[in-house]
Amino acid sequence: MTATPGTSSLAERITWLERAAGVSDSRLVLLPVVSADVAAAGGEEGYAVELAGAIRAVRALGRTPIPVTDPAAELTSSALNDLVRAVAAENNAFVIDLAGEMLAQNSGTVPSTWFDGDALSAFGHGRAAARVLKDLGIYDQGSNSANSMVRPATSPSLTAPATLAAAGTVGTVDGPSGRVSVPGLAVGNSATAPVTIAVPADAEPGDVIRVAVNASAANQRQAIAPRVVEVAVAADAEPTATPKSTPTVTVTVTAPTPTVTTTTTVTPTVTLTPTTTVTPTATLTPTVTTTATSTATVHPTVTVTVAPTTKAPTTSPPTDAPVDLYLAPGFHRVNGRQWYTECEAYSRTIRCTTQIHGTQVNLVDGHYVSTTGWIFNNLTYAPLMTRSQWASNPLGYTGSWSAADGRRWRTECDTAITGSDASRSYTWSSHISSVQQADGTWRHFPDEGWVMNNMVRFRA
């Protein structure tokens, strides 16, 4: 009941559940308070009537109904949640009281995992449901939903003493680390959070302040992989007792169109499958650009901009000549497909972003929708750094790990797929797969698996 396609009220959700009952083996049905459902019912009293009816309807299907209170509503008025509690009591229904337990966070009676975010209301319905099931001990870590649960939109976190104040938020986070919500993240727009880093009094020239950028876009649906930017403490021309400050740094995190999932590994000599598919939950690969000025300032500013969009390249005649399309900027035509690559300086090397022109399939309001355009394919790091210089980065050696957002990664090096002096990194992602049937039509279905994210080439 937390995600039912094409519905806008509690009554419609129940109708959908009754129709889907024959293909669903779920036994617990969560009934969280949704503000749109209250409005659709004509107000709180009407919603109470619909909730009571929903409890009876769920039981008639052989399921167990579990109403869930709304933490966000509790912050302004407890009337709605009191109504939910009363309806549940009248119908002998068990209640997951997220609102009441949110107010008792420090009582020791609430699982600490329920507060792994700025607020419970930031979970999103899917994430809240997963949290509940985890704490009940019945959450299947191998299920599809296990791969779509990411942290709420929080950014950035700092290892140096800092004061964070993002536009649209209230309160200040002080201390050696902190998080702040960046509101307004959604496909097609941007949000900016100015951050002031207070340099410790005992900082010496050459010391490094690490700024970790970790965010998610569109709540639980998309994730931006964390990136760390190192800012060096500059030295003045003459020694002084005043603590040194960091230069002004701009950190830009750009989330492109979700990572393309192809049915074959893409190389310049391999024929690609004609249709590529992605889902809104696919891994997004951000671009972090660091630019330091030559003038030191007392309170440097880090601006974090999250824009979950991909810039479409300007049309230009592609080249058919043999070329390393992953490292050669510009338009290319390889194996009958159009490609576009752009490169930029990154740390001590050059990082190139390659897009492919193709068709992606998204699940929108319960329907599969095909869109043709430029789609992110992968990142490639140029062979300007040796293998030893990559030794501290998991992208540079064989292994597997989990990122801060919970997404699983693995890297392989010097294999038949990567070639010598190279590595490839993959993320475990949920996506939409497509199969062409005998009659020529395409069948789309949810799937999951390892999806290539980037390649590293080592300098000999």
pLDDT beyond 70 at 33: yes
Highest mean pLDDT among 34-38, 277-281, 432-436: 432-436
pLDDT beyond 50 at 31: yes
- Which residues contact residue 15 at a Cβ distance below 8 angstroms, ignoring those fewer than 6 apart? 7
Residue with more model confidence, 36 or 251: 36
pLDDT digits (tens, 9 = 90+) for 206-241: 666 555 444 443 333 333 444 445 555 555 433 333
Q: How far apart are CA 357 and CA 375, in angstroms?
A: 6
Q: What are phi and psi of 117, to 5 degrees?
A: 180, 170
pLDDT digits (tens, 9 = 90+) for 372-389: 889 999 999 999 999 999
- The token duo for 394 is 């998991």
Mean pLDDT of 30-38: 80
Mean pLDDT of 138-147: 50
Residue tagged 């307004």 (tokens)? 184
- 28 burial (CB, 10 Å; 0-12 / 13-18 / 19+) is middle
Can you give the pLDDT at residue 79?
83
Can you give the pLDDT at residue 19?
72
Can you give the pLDDT at residue 398?
95
pLDDT beyond 90 at 397: yes
- 394 burial (CB, 10 Å; 0-12 / 13-18 / 19+) is middle
Can you give the pLDDT at residue 263?
30
List the domains of the chain with CATH numbers.
10-139 (3.40.50), 157-457 (no CATH)
Contact 63, 29 (CB under 8 A): yes
pLDDT beyond 90 at 80: no
Mean pLDDT of 113-130: 46
The size of the chain, in residues, is: 460
- Which residues contact residue 268 at a Cβ distance below 8 angstroms, ignoring those fewer than 6 apart? 322, 323, 324, 325, 334, 335
Please work out, in degrees rounded to the nearest 5, the angle formed at the alpha carbon of residue 64 by the alpha carbons of 62 and 68.
150
Can you give the pLDDT at residue 62?
84
Mean pLDDT of 419-448: 90
Average confidence score pLDDT of the chain:
64
Can you give the pLDDT at residue 37?
81
Q: How far apart are CA 227 and CA 79, in angstroms?
A: 43
Please work out, in degrees rounded to the nearest 5, the angle formed at the alpha carbon of residue 15 by the alpha carbons of 11 and 18.
140
Confidence of residue 29 (pLDDT cuts 50, 70, 90): confident
Residue with more model confidence, 316 or 405: 405
Can you give the pLDDT at residue 408?
93
Mean pLDDT of 318-339: 82
pTM of the model: 0.36
Give the DSSP H or E segment for 99: helix 98-102
**What percent of the chain clears pLDDT 70, i.e. is strictly above it?**
46
Please give the C-alpha separations between residue 127 and each of 29, 63, 104, 117, 346, in angstroms, as whole numbers: 15, 21, 20, 11, 34
Can you give the pLDDT at residue 301?
32
Which is it for the CA torsion 182, 188, 189, 190, positive or negative? positive
User: What is the Cα gyration radius of the chain?
Assistant: 25
pLDDT beyond 80 at 257: no
Can you give the pLDDT at residue 414?
95
Closest by CA to 253, choosing from 355, 172, 185, 324, is 185
Q: How far apart are CA 339 and CA 321, in angstroms?
A: 13
pLDDT digits (tens, 9 = 90+) for 232-250: 555 543 333 333 333 333 3
